[in-house]
Every structure is written in structure tokens, then in C-alpha cells.
Chains A and B, each alone.
Chain A
Amino acid sequence: MKISRPVAVLLNAYALFLALLLTWPVLQIVLTSFTSDIVFPPQHWSLNAFNEVLWPGLFRSLLFSLKMGAAVTILLLIICLPTAYAMERRRFAGKALLSVLIFVPIIFPVVTYSSAIRVYVFMFFPALRGNFWLIVLVTAMWPIPLVVRSIQGSLANVDVVYEEAAVIMGASPLHTFFKITIPLIAPGLITAAMIGFTSATTTFVVPFILGSNQPTVSLYIFGDVGRLGFVPWIAVEVLVMELVVLGAVQVLYFVFRKQFRGIFV
């Protein structure tokens, strides 16, 4: 389709505006990290904020968040991979219902079901208060629909013929799944894992409501904001969090990418 010049200019401007809108908070964080007071535009460039951060506490919470991110990602794949496979490749009773219900966690605010779990689970199992695995499980709920859909989409793009060929050649369905299906949907799996990992590492609501013993990095930063308001060294903490999560996602991507060379063209 050919578009006229004014429309093209307008579209470009809109795209630029959107890009700025999306990156502005990050840019602001970066700017603030390198100043000594919070004014816009920045007046005094300085690295003082980096000295004021309480690094050991931040790193403890970062490490905890990464651990939680990893646990949630693994749990998500264990939950979502068979679900997506069944939804895409099999026919079963209740499939239509499941494909609707699977969106429930995304429709209801995380606060709603986290609070429900806090009330009812702690009422009967008070010992679970602050339990790591309970927090992991509840954190994993929100991205389930996204991850299932993402994997399902990749499966839909992989012709069943490869699986049929493998089975005819003598591979059991399980062997076929791990040796043929998984490598072929690897790009989608990596995307799904990245969605899960990012959302879990930076999650705030679930550990806040369920009362994590060790604060996640978001909770840690929130605590500092609560006590001190927004000061430059909190911007540094946010910057570090973002860089670490981004770095972890990149590492994940490249490790997998190497693993499944030949699929990425």
C-alpha cells in the first residue's frame, strides 16, 4: 500500500513520540543516577549517588529476585509446555472452556488473587507465610496465559509432519517431544521464558502481599522510597536492577540461541 507523504510524516512522528513515551522513564532514571539533585533538566552531574547506595542489601535482594525469576521460569515452562501442546495438538473434552479460563489470571488484577490466597491459604496453613515456593507459584500465575499462547503459537507454526515422521521411524511420543518438537519450537520457548523471567524478577505485588521474608529487589527499592522519598541513589538502584535483569535475559537468549543453532536463520 502506498501512503501519501503527509501521512508518512505523521506516522513517523507518532512512532517517535511513542518510542519516547516508552523510553522516557528509563532515560529519566539514567539521568537522575548521574546527578546530585532531582531537577529537570539536570544541573549538577555527579557520581555521588553510586557511593550512597547500600550495595550489600541491594545485591542480596537482587540475587533473591534472580533466584525467584529462575524458579518461576522453570515452573512456568513445566506448567505451560504440556498445556500448550494439548491445546494445539490434541482434542479433549473441555478444551474450549480451558482456553477461556486460562485468561482469568490476566483479567483479574494480581492484587485480587494474591489477597485471596493470603486470606484463605494463611487461614488454614499459617506456616506457609513467607514461603518461597508459595510466592513462586503465585508469581507464576500471571504470565501463564501469555506463555501458553506464545508456545501455542510456535507449535502452530511447526508442521505436525515432523512429529509423525519421528513416530513412524520408531520414536516414542515422549522421545519425539523432547528431540523433535522442543528444538523446533525453541524460539517461541525462549520468548516465553523471557516474558516469564522478566515479569517474575521485577514482580512487586505478590511478594508484597504474601509477605516475603527476604525482600525482592522491587520491594527493597520500594522500601527505600517509602523511607526517604525519591533521591538520586534510588534511581541508581533501579538502574542496577534494570541492567541486571536485562543482562540475565540476554544471557538466557544467547545460551539458548547457541543450543538451537540452525533454527534461527
Chain B
Amino acid sequence: MANIRTENLVKRFGDFAAVDHVNVDIREGSFTAILGPSGCGKTTLLRCIAGLIEPDAGQILIGGKDVTRVPPFKRNLGFVFQRPAMFPHMTVYENVAWALELRKWPKPKVKDRVMEMLRLVRLDGLEHRAYRQLSGGQAQRVVIARALAPQPDVLFLDEPLSQLDAKLRDELKLEIAEIHRKTGCTTLMVTHDQAEALTIADNVLLMHQGKIVQEGSPVELYRYPNTLFSADFIGTNNFLQGTITGINRNTTVRLDGTATTLSAEQVLPGVPIGAPVWVCARADDIDIIDADQQAKSTNVVEATVEQALLTGGTVIVQARVGKTELRIHAGGSKRFQLLGQEGKSIFCSLGNISLIARGAGEGLHP
């Protein structure tokens, strides 16, 4: 186990900076997800830290030791790849034992460790299987066991679930979280799937255009996005323009062009009263309420329904508040009342809203 730090890490491909002065500080024993859209540089960052790509500038420290110029085979790491990486010319047992035999572990110790790892990934009993006798999920489990067997300082997961089908992905997702809980090995995972990152990781690095734009726990990232990019990337968000009218422990905001005031449980540092802000309201957090419930609810706005579509568990409502579109994912039994309500007025409680500073005159939807 070890912590990871990078200092001003840069990797360019031609003129394009895939990793652009990245500083990360990853706690020992944590499960950190690097989340971002495809092409944001997350895999390049991971491969730099693992040593598969040499960075152009900056430093990488693993466990306090500068490993920037240390070749990957001397870094004591484990890596799980996106593509199937189980050695096809070896059995399950030989795969998991490979790194241990390389380290010249005595035979009985190798056997104990391999069996321990196979139990961990629930493949005990399949140790003599060949690659082609395994399913995709099982082969990926072999790779996880193989990576963890020699007790690496850090385990890297590069989109480990993206090639599996949806059901298996959900299953293995929870298993990976469980494996991390049992081993406590510092884990760094790259993913473009926000649900995956929010579910498993205890720390999320949100990456965009080669830079880390936000870092925090899944809850922090979900509730308090610090940029329009984070607010837009995670979940389905609505952006309404407002102006700060009061600051104490909370911040009071008036929606521009209306008399409606809303309250956010957050204070933006360095943003004064009178400053323009984006009010972010998550489509999943919005509740439809009855007209007489207004006084009891928080952050109520009146909206006009433009379209309501049943998708099964939720009704997706396209509504309008003033000139701004509002998307609502309505759940619960009340959702059916929304169907066929096009043109009608409804009251919505926006729930936990968050604020992002907005430049004066900036008015375009992100």
C-alpha cells in the first residue's frame, strides 16, 4: 500500500496535451476514480502513473518515492486492463502464480496465495481452466486476482468493466468494491461511467481536457459541482440564471426575471451579494408538489409542462420556468398524474440546489 502524488505532470502527443500539469494527491488505501469523458486524458494519466507511458514533464511519487524514471517492472504495481489480458497460453492457476514465481516465492507459498486470491475473486475450483473455457467476466476476475497476488503497492483499473455486459458489470462493480474493502490496497480506477465512479470510489477526480477540474467524495461531486462542466457531466442538471440576494450560513438567490427566491446550503467563497450565479437543479432531485404544499416545501418554482414521457420507473418531464427549460425526472406514484398535462402549470420543489459563479452577461446554456 502506498499513496500517490503527481506534480505538474505533463504528457503531450504532438501539440496536444493529453495530461496538462496535473497534480493529484491520492491517500493510501483509498479507492480513487478518475472520471471524465472519452479523450479527456484519464487513461494517459493512469498509464503515466503506472509507468507504461513516460511523461514529458513533472514528477510521480508512489509511497513518497520518486518513480518518474523508474521502469514499470520495478514499481510493484498491479494493473487490470480494459481489454482481456489473461495470458491465453496459461491456465487460471498459472496466470495468478506468474508474478509470484517471477518473485521466486517458494512453491507452497505460491499455492496458498493463488488459492487465497482465487477465493477472493470467487474462482476457486476453476484453477485448471484454460482461457477459452472462461466467460469474459471470469477472465477479468483472473486478471484482478493476478494483479493483486504479489501484494502490489497500488492497483490500477483501466475501465475494467467496459467490455462486459450490463448485468455482469453491475455484479463485478460491487465485487470490486468488496475486494478493495477486504484488501485495503490503494486503488486507482479510470472510468467514463459516472455511476461506476460514484458507486465504488470514495474519492473522485473529475478530469476534462487534460486537467483535473474537481476532486472530492462522490457526494461532494454530486451535490456541489464547482464548474458548469462538473454540473453538466454528472447526472442530468438544469441551469437557471439567478442573482445572490443574501448570504449567511446559506445563500439566497433570486431567479432572474422572476420574484422567486431560492436557498442553497452553500456559500460560494469570494462571491458577493448581487453577483450573478448559475442555479443548478438536478432533474432527479425535483419533486412535483400540490399547490397547497408550497409553504411546506423548499425552493418552489412554478413551471409549465411542455411534454411528459413515461419511461417506466420515471416520467421525464420537459417543462419551462420563464424562458428556461426545466427537465424533471419524476418518480413515485404521483408520476402518472403528469402524463397528458401538456400546457398545464405545476409546482416543483427543486430540492437541494447548488450554485456556480457566473460571469456578468454570461447567459448561454452550457
Contact = CB atoms under 8 A, between A and B. Distances in A.
- Nearest 7 Cβ contacts at the A-B interface: A169-B99, A168-B79, A161-B85, A165-B85, A262-B89, A183-B89, A167-B73
B72 interface: yes
B19 interface: no
Question: Residue among B75, B81, B85, B132 with the most chain A CB within 10 A?
Answer: B85
Contacts of A167: 52, 71-73
Question: Residue among B52, B72, B132, B146 with the most chain A CB within 10 A?
Answer: B72
Nearest to A186: B89
A90 B93 CA distance: 32
Contact of A170 (B84, B88, B90, B150): B150
A164 interface: yes
B22 interface: no
Contact of B83 (A161, A169, A262): A161
A265 interface: yes
Question: Residue among B73, B74, B76, B84 with the most chain A CB within 10 A?
Answer: B73
Contacts of A183: 89
Question: Residue among B51, B81, B130 with the most chain A CB within 10 A?
Answer: B81
B77 interface: yes
B303 interface: no
Contacts of B83: 159, 161
A9 B87 CA distance: 45
B79 A170 contact: no
Question: Residue among A166, A169, A260 with the most chain B CB within 10 A?
Answer: A169
A164 B103 contact: no
Given A164-B81, A180-B87, A263-B88, A169 B98 contact: yes
Contact of B143 (A165, A172, A184, A260): A165
Given A168-B52, A168-B72, A262-B130, 18 more contacts: A159-B85, A161-B83, A161-B84, A161-B85, A162-B85, A164-B52, A164-B79, A165-B85, A166-B98, A167-B52, A168-B50, A168-B73, A168-B147, A170-B102, A184-B89, A260-B89, A262-B89, A263-B88
Given A184-B89, A262-B89, A169 B150 contact: yes
Contacts of B50: 168
A227 B302 CA distance: 110
Nearest to A164: B52
The binding surface of chain A is classed by DSSP as helix
A161 B50 CA distance: 14
A171 interface: yes
B78 interface: yes
Contacts of B98: 166, 169
Contacts of B147: 168-169
A92 to B, nearest CB: 16
Interface residues on B, range: 20 to 34
B88 A262 contact: yes
A164 B50 CA distance: 10
A175 B132 CA distance: 25
A265 B103 contact: no
Interface string A223-265: 0000000000000000000000000000000000000101101
Interface in A108-163: 159, 161-162
A260 B51 CA distance: 31
Interface in B97-141: 98-99, 102-103, 130, 132
Contact of A165 (B79, B89, B132): B79
Given A164-B52, A165-B79, A170 B89 contact: no
Nearest to B83: A161
Contacts of B73: 167-173
Interface string B149-183: 01000001000000000000000000000000000
Nearest to B156: A168
A91 to B, nearest CB: 13
Given A170-B150, A262-B130, A184 B88 contact: yes
Interface in B211-229: none
Contacts of A171: 73, 102
Contacts of B143: 165
B99 A170 contact: yes
Contacts of A169: 73, 78, 98-99, 102, 146-147, 150
Nearest to B75: A168
A37 to B, nearest CB: 55
B254 to A, nearest CB: 55
Contacts of B81: 161, 164-165
A164 to B, nearest CB: 6
Nearest to B90: A262
A125 B147 CA distance: 57
B234 to A, nearest CB: 30
Interface in A180-200: 180, 183-184
A132 to B, nearest CB: 36
